[in-house]
Copies of this chain bind each other. A is one copy, B any other.
Amino acid sequence: MARPVRSLPPVPVGAPPPTLADVAERAGVSRQTVSNAVNNPELLRPDTLERVQHAIDELGYTPNRAARNLRTRASHLIGLRLTPVQEGTANATVDRFLHSLVETSREAGYHVLLFTADGDQLLTGYEELVRSTAVDAFVVTDTFLGNPQAAWLEAQHVPFVAFGRPWDSPEATHAWVDVDGGTGVALATEHLVGRGHERIAWIGWRKDSRIGEDRRSGWARVMYRHGLRTTGLACRVEDTVGSGREAAAALLDAAAPTGFVCASDTLAIGVLHTLSERGLVAGRDVAVVGFDDSQVAQVVPPGLTSVRQPLEQVAVEIVTALEGLLDTPPVRRPGVMLDPTLAVRGSS
C-alpha cells in the first residue's frame, strides 16, 4: 500500500455490503421507507428522510444493482459494439466518442457495456444481450452498408439510437444523431478558396459510399459557387494511405491542383506521402485538408488541417435521445444533425 487512502468507506472490509434492511433497522423504519428515501424522497417527512439519509451515509449503503434490476426490469446499461481497430489508418474517432459517451451516460445514470461481434455473429451479439436483458438500449455506430442491426433492433422494439443517418433506409423512423459531413467539407473547401486556391482536388471514397458522396457534395457545392472547375479534379479510391498517395500523384500529374480536400485523414496522410516524395512542402507548396481531426492530423508535421466532428455534442444528443426512449411513455425525437468545425493547421 503505497500511500494513505483518503476516502475509506464505512463498510467493514470483506463484509457483504449493507442492504436496505440494514439501513432500515439502523434508522428504525421499514425497508420500504428506506427505498422511498432513495427513490422518492419527496414522499417522506423531512425528519424521517434525514434520519434515513444519515443511516445510509453511516453504513455506506448503495442499492444492490442486481436486485434493483431484477425488480425494475432494467439494467441501466447501454450496449455498444466496439468496431474492429483499423491499423494502418488514421481512423480513431472511437476513443474520443467513447469517452464522451461514457461520461454523458453516467450523468444520466447509465453505464456503457461493450461487446464485439462481427460478420455472421453480428446480430447474435445484440440478440444475446437483449434476451438476457443485459442492457436497456444500444448505441449503434455503423449505419452504412445497409447494416442489419438497426433494422433488427427496430423490429424487436429494442430501444436504440444510431450515430449516423439511416443512409440506406430513409423510411426508417428510429432515433439518430449525425454530423453533416458535406457541410464540413464545404467548410474546408471554402477555407482553401479563401486562401486563394482555385484548383482544389477532391479525394474521396468509392461511389457506393453514401457518406463519401455526401462529403464530396460539400466540395462540389463550394467549387460551383465560386465558378471553379471540378472536372478532372476528383477521384474516388479506397480508404487507405496507399490509395491516397497514388491518387494524389495521379492528380498532381494530370491537373496540378494546389490544394487537396480529402474524405478522411487517412487519405490526406497519403497525400502528404506523395508531397514529401516529390520534395513538395505541405502548406507551402500544396494545401491539404483531411477529415476527422485524428491524433495523426494533430501531430504529423506540419499539422494537418482537418474537419472535426463534435463528438462530445454527439454523445450528449445520443444520451438525450436515449433517455427519451427509455422514459415512460417513450419520447421519440427526430434525427439530430450537427455541424462539424474546421481545425486549421500548418498543412493549409
Chain B residue at minimum C-beta to C-beta distance from A281: B276
Q: Determine the distance from Cα of A98 to Cα of B62 in the docked complex, in whole angstroms.
A: 28
| A7 in contact with B123 given A87-B295, A296-B299 (CB within 8 Å) | yes
- A-B contacts, 9 of them at CB < 8 A, read A2-B168, A13-B156, A63-B132, A67-B70, A69-B69, A113-B113, A272-B301, A273-B301, A296-B299
A254 to nearest B CB, angstroms? Answer: 22
Contacts A66-B70, A99-B116, A103-B116 given; 17 further ones with Cβ under 8 A?
Answer: A1-B151, A62-B131, A64-B70, A65-B134, A66-B66, A66-B133, A67-B70, A82-B102, A85-B95, A88-B299, A89-B299, A92-B95, A92-B295, A102-B114, A112-B114, A269-B299, A273-B302
Instruction: Please state if A151 and B5 are interface contacts (CB–CB under 8 Å).
Output: yes
| Tally of this chain's copies | 2
Taking a contact as CB atoms under 8 Å apart, the answer to whether B66 and A85 are in contact is: no
Question: Which single member of B95, B152, B296 contacts A296 (CB below 8 Å)?
Answer: B296
Give A133 to B296 CA distance when docked, in angstroms: 39
Within 8 Å of chain B (Cβ to Cβ): is A300? yes
Q: Using Cβ atoms and an 8 Å threshold, which residues of chain B touch A296?
A: 90, 295-296, 299-300
Q: Are A157 and B116 in contact (CB under 8 A)?
A: no
A125 to chain B, nearest CB (A): 9
Q: Which of A94, A95, A169 has the most CB of B within 10 A?
A: A95
Across the two chains, which residue of chain B brings its CB closest to A83? B99
The CA of A241 and the CA of B295, in the complex, are separated in Å by 12
Task: Contact check, B82 vs A98: say whether CB atoms are below 8 A apart.
Answer: yes
Give Cα A154–Cα B82 distance, bound, in whole angstroms. 30
- B111–A6 contact, CB under 8 A? no
Residues of B within 8 A of A276 (CB): 301-302
Q: Which of A118-173 contact B (CB under 8 A)?
A: 123-124, 127-128, 130-134, 146, 148, 150-152, 154-157, 166, 168-169, 172
Contact in complex: A148, B5 (CB < 8 Å): yes
CB distance A155 to B5 under 8 Å?
yes
- Does A333 have its Cβ within 8 Å of any Cβ on chain B? no
Decide if A99 touches B127 in the complex (CB within 8 Å): no
Name the distance in Å between A28's Cβ and chain B's nearest Cβ: 23
Known contacts A7-B124, A132-B64; decide if A77 and B1 are in contact (CB<8 Å).
Answer: no
Q: How far is the CA of A65 from the CA of B77 in the complex (A)?
A: 12
Q: Which B residues touch A294, using CB under 8 A? A: 295
State how many angstroms separate the Cβ of A108 from the closest Cβ of chain B.
13
Interface residues of A in 50-86 (CB under 8 A from B): 60-67, 69-70, 73, 75, 77, 82, 84-85
Pair B133/A65 contact, Cβ less than 8 Å:
yes
A88 nearest in chain B by CB position? B298
Closest residue of chain B to A128, judged by CB? B62
Inter-chain CA distance A11–B7, complex, in Å, is: 47
Residues from chain B with a CB closer than 8 A to the CB of A77 are 113
**Are the CB atoms of B62 and A66 closer together than 8 Å?**
no
The answer to whether the Cβ of A306 comes within 8 Å of any Cβ in the partner chain is no
